[in-house]
A = this chain, B = another copy of it.
């Protein structure tokens, strides 16, 4: 299996429109949701479209509180399997209501997604410090 080097993996991930975020609950249950995101170096920026006081209602944020280890996946599927590739970003997540981080996440997301420019997420922000980029491509 041809692995992708780190720069290629990061570049492919950063160009994708959607990723899937895996978090783990205190009792070891995985949880998956699709997320929009922006990449700044080895940091992933995300935000939640929900008022801060209610954000602990979201399973992904409760899980990050209990276990900050997360994994995100970007993948390309095609019925022609020679076109398959995927990139995984493993790292540590931080949820923050810090206004500077939220402003940075909003700006980065707004550059990528017109929906976020029109209607910025209320927060909180959450960031992932990526400790490992892993990728594979069929060709």
Binding site for B on A (CB under 8 A): 17-18, 20, 22-24, 28-34, 67, 69-73, 75, 77, 79, 81, 84, 86, 88, 90, 115
Contacts and interface: CB of A to CB of B under 8 A. Distances in A.
A22 B23 CA distance: 9
Given A81-B115, A115-B81, A75 B20 contact: yes
Chain A contact residues: over half helix, strand or loop, or mixed?
strand
Contacts of A28: 24, 28, 67, 69
Contacts of A29: 24, 69, 71, 90
B30 A24 contact: yes
B18 A71 contact: no
